[in-house]
Structure 1
Amino acid sequence: MKNSLIIALDFTGKEEVNRFLSKFNDEQLFLKVGMELFYQEGPRIVQELKEKGHQIFLDLKLHDIPNTVGKAMERLARLQIDLVNVHAAGGKEMMERALAGLEAGTSSGQKRPHLIGVTQLTSTSEEQMQKEQLITASLKESVLQYASLTKEAGLDGVVCSAYESEEIKKLLGSEFLTVTPGIRTAADEQGDQKRIATPAFAKEAGASAIVVGRSITNDPNPLEKYKQMKSQWEGVLQ
């Protein structure tokens, strides 16, 4: 999954998803199914997208007691997704149980889905974190702490902003995955994200994968916008 551009399917239902994907012909994509779409359509939407040959990041950000998260992951593994996540704030034991659940639910001969931990949301500013979460450290220190805890738990990587990717790689190794949402082109609106970055910046910061949503899904020509951002991400000059 390294060097992937993941498109966030931030749609309300299957009909919208199908209309969007019809514009991509037979292109094989890496797609993010989040809470809104999964809760509306259920596991079947994942199965249908997998049947079309797409890779899937199931973005549910699980955060509950260890036993519950472990059992949930065991069932999610049966969907043969490629990537799934939990909130690192749930703690080391919760993340360990999540990993054990994924391993238990993965069929013999199949590859276990990658599991990553959410550090701080890219919609969260340092001021918000300190005031609302009562974390007195800097935002960067908080992200690095969560990333370190995630690696200790045996997970494959983290969700972080592109601004923390380089330091995480230095601290935890180049093989530790950094998946970076909040990706926009310079001309796009910021929206509700605080720590946004361009594909080129994320590449320079050593991100393993980028997640792009509205910059592609809201574009009048999403296929061309996808190709443009993919070229920037892969370092091909336009």
Structure 2
Amino acid sequence: MAARDRLIVGLDLTGRSEAERIVETLGETVIWYKIGFQLALSGGLPLVSDLARAGKRVFLDLKLLDISNTVEKGVESALDLGASMLTIHAYPHAMRAAVAAARGSDLTLLGVTVLTSLDDADLEASGYRCGVEELVATRVRQARDAGMGGVVASPAEAAAIRAAVGPDMAIVTPGIRPAGSAAFDQKRIATPADALSAGASHLVVARPIVASADPKAAAEAILAEMDAAGA
């Protein structure tokens, strides 16, 4: 895939007008956008359909987790909106329900393994008796067995995941920071080049682009780094 097919710009913004400004600024530079809770809950959910009609692709990052019936209905609604990717927390029952609802469609379902802002100490504080590496491995195996299209994981786990699942499953990696960028609240991060070399299929970049004084230049610089890495 070309670098433009692998870069997902996270519209982690409040309000549809701000998101539309970024999309207009980026123009044809960017194909993929991520819409998560912040934008979805501030009037941005209809933007999924608008972007899809404009030829863009949308990664709807809602991290669904509920009883099976509710997950199924949520996936059906995401299909109606025109999303290309949708996240499900990687619990087996939720993933099975999502796969059943999306069967026959082009929607790529992604199992969220462990958030990139968490480390072993955070998992221990949450009551888990294993570290990040072990929990990610378990959830990747369960996502593969459930028939999911891919997983969301940090770049730190990408190489091990790629070795476990082979070439076909998507590995979408948040926590991407170009050299010299601030980590913000992320703990398990990598540069675009390092994430790609580890086996990531798609890179999610939000603040280094949308919070930049020149978002288009920031996106172009990341795409150039991805091209240089062989994306």
Say whether 1:68 aligns with 2:70. Answer: yes
CA distance, structure 2, for counterparts of residue 214 and residue 42 of structure 1 = 18
Cα deviation 1:55-82 (Å, max 9, x = unaligned): 1000000011111101111121111211
**What is the aligned-residue identity percentage?**
35
User: Could you tell me which residue of structure 1 aligns to residue 85 of structure 2?
Assistant: 83
User: 1:1-238 maps to which residues of 2 (within 5 A)?
Assistant: 4-41=6-43, 43-88=45-90, 91-103=91-103, 111-132=105-126, 134-235=127-228
Deviation at 1:150, TM superposition (A): 0.6
DSSP-derived class of the 2:223 partner: helix
Change (3 A) 1:236 1:98: closer
DSSP-derived class of the 2:176 partner: coil
Change (3 A) 1:208 1:26: closer
What amino acid is aligned across from residue 200 of structure 1 in structure 2?
A
The answer to whether the 8 Å contact 1:203/1:234 transfers is: no
What amino acid is aligned across from residue 221 of structure 1 in structure 2?
D
Runs of 4+ in 1 over 3 A off after TM superposition: 25-28
Cα deviation 1:127-174 (Å, max 9, x = unaligned): 111222x22222111101000001111101100001101101111212
What amino acid is aligned across from residue 78 of structure 1 in structure 2?
D
CA distance, structure 2, for counterparts of residue 96 and residue 177 of structure 1 = 17
Cα deviation 1:182-214 (Å, max 9, x = unaligned): 101121111011111100110110101000000
Deviation at 1:236, TM superposition (A): 5.4
Cα deviation 1:14-64 (Å, max 9, x = unaligned): 110122122223445200011111122254211111222211000000011
Gaps of at least 5 residues in structure 2 are none
Change (3 A) 1:236 1:128: closer
CA distance, structure 2, for counterparts of residue 45 and residue 192 of structure 1 = 26
DSSP-derived class of the 2:62 partner: strand
CA distance, structure 2, for counterparts of residue 189 and residue 154 of structure 1 = 36
Gaps of at least 5 residues in structure 1 are none
When normalised by structure 2's length, the TM-score is 0.93
